[in-house]
Structure 1
Amino acid sequence: MAHHHEGHDHAGHGHSHLPSGVGDGAILIAVIVNLGLTVAQIAGGYIADSTALIADGVHNLSDAMALVLAFGARRLARRPASPAMSFGWSRAEIIAAFVNYIALIAVSVWLGIEALGRLFDPPQVQGGLVMALAALALVIDLATAALVWRASRESVNIRAAFLHNLADAAVSVAVIFGGLLIWAFGWQIADPILTLAISVVIMWHVVRELSPVMRMLMLAAPDGVDHQAVEESLRAVPGIDSVHHIHMWQIDEHRTALSAHLVMGPDADAPGAVRLAKAMLRRDFGIDHATIETERQGDPCGDHAHEHDDHAGYDHH
């Protein structure tokens, strides 16, 4: 039984997928400004008795945290891999994002409950203060988006945070409108209605973005990669009779890994077949981190003792 390992294994490298040094200072300034704005909005929300303003502050906090995660991930990704952390530090971003999203779900539920209570007994909200702070938030959201715009063109991670800021600017416009309705017409019910709407928007963002994070944490195959197609493509490589013990998972947002056992024909060139298989995986499926083991037809599989660990549907012989 032969073991074949990729000569340029990604686990041995600590290179970053993010451009080094691009916009770090701008991102740090944006984080500090947004955290200051969050404090001002939440404090102002309590003073004005406006849950919509508090909700906008919480939404703004989520943007600031997204920037913190992006900034931290850029720094951690530059750390070299080590024997103890053989894949590097890029999954720290996934764990932090998961914690952040769970906290946001709790906050959204709390905001929704608060807003529902206020629907039946709307408090006297200070519309002028709400408009002033929401207008300040709008200016800062747009300024933050401008600060990170350059970095967002070169990093998918920062681009997500950039888009969050643009979305938050839209929420601030809605809060300004709500404050205007309260100030001009005394429509106090506008505040809890807006709070509910913002709570739903936050929850929608979280649910949409939590799914890929959960898939990575659960070592699921990348979304959009067809397991059956991978298996058939491996079987089509010259010299390979059958394939089993195929496992695919995401190391991080950018890297996909695969391990598999290939059963070779009696006269097959095993090293040559493995080279062809890896080239095919890289070219057709974007999988450039493959660990492949070969067996001869009729040989016992060395992993038979651990078959119960495999999903029955993916343990093909």
Structure 2
Amino acid sequence: MEAGAGLCTEATVPKAVHDDLKQKYSQLSTEYDNLRVDINKLKAENEQLKATLRNTPFSFSSIKCKAAQVLFFTGLTSVIFEWLLQTVKDSVEVVRGSLTLEEHLLAILMKLRLGLSNKDIAYRFNVTECDISKIMRSLLPVMSQVLKPLIKWPGKHAILKTMPKCFKAKYTCCRCIIDCTEFFINRPTNLTSRAQTYSNYKSHNTVKYLVGMSPAGAITFLSAGGGGGGRVSDKQLTAESGFYDLQEVNDEILADRGFTIIDELAVRGATLRIPHFTKGKKQLSAQEMENIKAFVEHENTH
């Protein structure tokens, strides 16, 4: 029997491989150290921002002179925000005494514009989540009633007068662009209501509304009441909304493929137009939406 038989021998790593691994280890160690420095720097900046936020309470007065910030938080210009405030001030009341009426309206618009949670908004205004919830429940229904008359169905002359150039080439008779939008709701405890509001498209319980928009971008139609449950089809919701009663001869309605309403419109002398770029697609990508938006803006300014 040979000496050393059965004993394990250490594998020898070639020098080139060893040097390569050593170099990679050195590079990774350097990158790790740099990342740790960046993390510590970001942590310090984060703490500084938190301290600044604590020492500078968020309020309407802190942004009202900054038009860009008003637009960012509310989606409105300062002039329109002031007009909206004057329009609703006699119909609403202050729910939280530490906040002004301007801040009540600002909180609601931030919720609608940015989709912020009640906790986020409460933290910004230094109030409780319960306060923000009360503001929403108190002011939103009143604002809805006060502002609802602003949604008007315009005449053909008004549509043609404000029609963007990009529509005139192919959709000269376009009266309205329609689509359905859904909003998440809590799952109802009632089984029937739960089934009626469950949306297969959103995989969630929702309420659905039919929204109509002029070629110029103004909201001209909104289905009434609670809209429909997420289970209702676009076709059924359109029929129940009273939208067909507004149609006139030679009207063109733009919609996506989900609206199988050609016959219903034809009875009233109107036509359904489905833009070609939606054919064969379930939904436009975010990039395609941005491209369309950029194209429309370009056409409107040239």
- If the TM-score is normalised by the length of the shorter chain, which range does it land in? under 0.3
> TM-score under structure 2 normalisation?
0.22
Task: Identify the structure with the greater helix proportion.
Answer: 1
| Higher relative contact order, structure no. (Cα contacts within 8 Å, ≥ 6 residues apart) | 1
> TM-score under structure 1 normalisation?
0.22
